[in-house]
Amino acid sequence: MSSPITNPLRVGLRQERVIPPQCLVIFGASGDLTHRKLVPSLFELYKQRRLPSEFALLGCARRPWSDHDFRQKMAASLSDKIKESPIEWDEFCKGLFYEPVNITHREDLIKLGQRLEEIDRLRATHSNRTFYLSISPEFYGIACRSLAEANLLKDPKRSRVVIEKPFGRDYRSAQALNKLVQNYCQESQVFRIDHYLGKETVQNILVLRFANTIFEPIWNRNYISSIQITAAETVGVEERAGYYESSGALRDMVQNHLTQMLSITAMEPPGHFDPEAIRNEKAKVLQAARIADEIEPWKCCIRGQYGRGGNKEEPLLGYREESGVSPSSTTETYVAIKLFIDNWRWQGVPFYIRTGKRLPKRVSEVVLTFREAPVHLFDAAGGSPTSNQLILRIQPDEGAVFRFDVKSPGSGMRSRPVEMDFSYEQSFGEPSDEGYVRLLADAMLGDPTLFTRSDEVEAAWRLYTPLLELIEDKPWQLPIHQYESRTWGPAAADVLLARDELLWRRP
């Protein structure tokens, strides 16, 4: 939804923390993410005056660009934003630099160290450095080793490394990668980014739960009967077939984004709002989570793959017909899983998570369904009584809805459900920052709250290990169910819930 007129009294009021003098070094600076997300987010931070005057961005990649080339390329891809603020761009641009670096070449790293010292002198960045690894995951370990060998990670307070997903392919590879990275830097220096955590509405789950006294007392197995977490996309695999074929929905979405939503929804209240306290609770809840049936895991997971769909005017290809995809591919584009969390708060409450491509709507949400009233005193207008639901809308149309029963107008005493709706758009009328704006700022501030810690990553991979092993070793036990593009996934996913006498919510 587009934002109406900006509230003029709101402009400039945010009380943000200030990033200390800083040089952000992006490895993979010639890649897509740099000009699509990172530099626009940094320019946004600059316009909001949240970057210090002592700031520099050093782009690094193999291409033999100069500072001038880099600035021009960034300017070209941000041309729309620059049109709105040309003066700000001219100033921001002075802090952009480029150094050709092959991360595997020792002499390049020595040159990089010298360049950083030069930038320190030029921009007074005080040797505070954030290294952003926007490179292929196979180079994460090498990059950390090279940086450490060039003495660029020796001060844990002044240097940190930001790592993009995927962090490993499974539990073992994640564990090995963690060990490798931790050989060269301290855990406090590693910021594993998950852009879902940068979303205002995901963070709002914490505020909703822990700033309001009405929710926390009922946020448990005594009042909640089930929880559904959905991340639906309308798009297909698009340009990412090469990566997606080897990952699939489970690795691409579930292990990270959905599991982060799960941990924030289910975690215990932290003692205080402190990065480690929060991450401890998130890790603990993941360690207590398990696939609903560990002995027969195929009974609680449904994999699907989109087939053809659309209409005559806009026909949609099936996944196996997409460019770069094997015609006999068994990569899942849809997955639905039933989980349990074995702790006092959640024992016996099923968590259903699902994600898929080419579903009818782009929507991410968490739905908490409350237990039914113990005695039904009233007839329900819809035939059967409905449970109360709290729906936390992550995107789009960010907000929350509470469904509850009221008396249906008329002489009888019939109940019917209504909705109490909170919308960010209606209440604030301002678009939220892009997740990367928040996360880049936090990384440079050295605030790890919204980044995943090594034990969280490992716990998340371990949670899905029975399924990953099954896909690897006995794929016939987790067959791929075809579903028509722009439908809500395979019918088998509905059966998964039907066994528990439940339905997926149709967002």
Partner 1 sequence: MSPQLTLQTPLQLPPDEIPSYLDQLWEKDQPGNSGANTFCLLVWQPAWIEQELVRVGKIKAPILGTQRNELIEAARQIVLKGDLPHSTPPFDKRVVESLSELSGKEQKDDLRGQHVDSAISALQPRRLITLAPTLDKNHALEALVAAYCPLPEEGGGNSACGDVVVLRGSINSLEKGLDILDGLLPEELPAWLWWNGNLDEAPNLLSQLALPKQRLVIDTALGEPMKCLDLLKGKVTSGQAVNDLNWLRLRTWRETLAMVFDPPSRRNALNNIVKLDIDIEGKNPVQGLLLAAWIAERLNWKLQESNLLNNESIEAKFRRPDGIIANFRLVHLPIGKPSIHPGQIVGIRLICKPYQNPRQGMCVILASESGECMRLEAGGMANMELVEEVVPIQNNSVEMDVARLLSTSRGSTSPLLERAAPIATKMLSLSQSSNSAKFN
Q: Which residues form the interface with partner 1 (CB under 8 A)?
A: 4-5, 7-13, 15-18, 49-53, 124, 126, 425-430
Amino acid identity of 162? V
Backbone φ and ψ for 342, nearest 5 degrees, come out as -90, 80
Q: 494, 488, 367, 497: which is closest to 419 by C-alpha? A: 367
CB within 8 A of 49, min separation 6: which ones? none
Let me know: does 167 contact 457? Beta carbons within 8 Å. yes
Rounded to a whole number of angstroms, the minimum distance from the CB of residue 50 to partner 1 is 8
Is the CB of 13 or the CB of 375 nearer to partner 1?
13
Task: Give catalytic status of residue 257 as yes or no.
Answer: yes
Is the CB of 9 or the CB of 295 nearer to partner 1?
9
The C-alpha atoms of residue 453 and residue 182 are separated, in whole angstroms, by 12
Q: What is the 3-state secondary structure (H, E, C) of 352-374?
A: EEEEECCCCCCEEEEEEEECCCC
Is the CB of 18 or the CB of 76 nearer to partner 1?
18
Is the CB of 6 or the CB of 326 nearer to partner 1?
6
Q: 249, 288, 322, 323: which is closest to 471 by C-alpha? A: 249
Here the tokens at position 273 are 């709002």
Rounded to a whole number of angstroms, the minimum distance from the CB of residue 187 to partner 1 is 17
Helix orientation angle between 106-123 and 140-149, rounded to the nearest 10 degrees: 70
Let me know: does 335 contact 356? Beta carbons within 8 Å. yes
Which residue is associated with the tokens 């027969």? 296
The C-alpha atoms of residue 9 and residue 16 are separated, in whole angstroms, by 17
Let me know: does 295 contact 473? Beta carbons within 8 Å. no
Here the tokens at position 329 are 């591919």
Rounded to a whole number of angstroms, the minimum distance from the CB of residue 335 to partner 1 is 38
Catalytic, out of 35, 195, 257, 481:
257
Rounded to a whole number of angstroms, the minimum distance from the CB of residue 361 to partner 1 is 24
How far from chain centre, in Å, is Cα 27?
21
Cis-peptide, bond into residue 20, ω within 30° of zero: no
Rounded to a whole number of angstroms, the minimum distance from the CB of residue 11 to partner 1 is 7
Here the tokens at position 355 are 């994600």
The C-alpha atoms of residue 22 and residue 120 are separated, in whole angstroms, by 9
Is the CB of 50 or the CB of 195 nearer to partner 1?
50
Rounded to a whole number of angstroms, the minimum distance from the CB of residue 17 to partner 1 is 6
Here the tokens at position 120 are 């320190």
Rounded to a whole number of angstroms, the minimum distance from the CB of residue 53 to partner 1 is 5
The C-alpha atoms of residue 43 and residue 80 are separated, in whole angstroms, by 12
Which residue is associated with the tokens 């028509």? 484
Rounded to a whole number of angstroms, the minimum distance from the CB of residue 207 to partner 1 is 15
Q: Which residues are catalytic?
A: 257
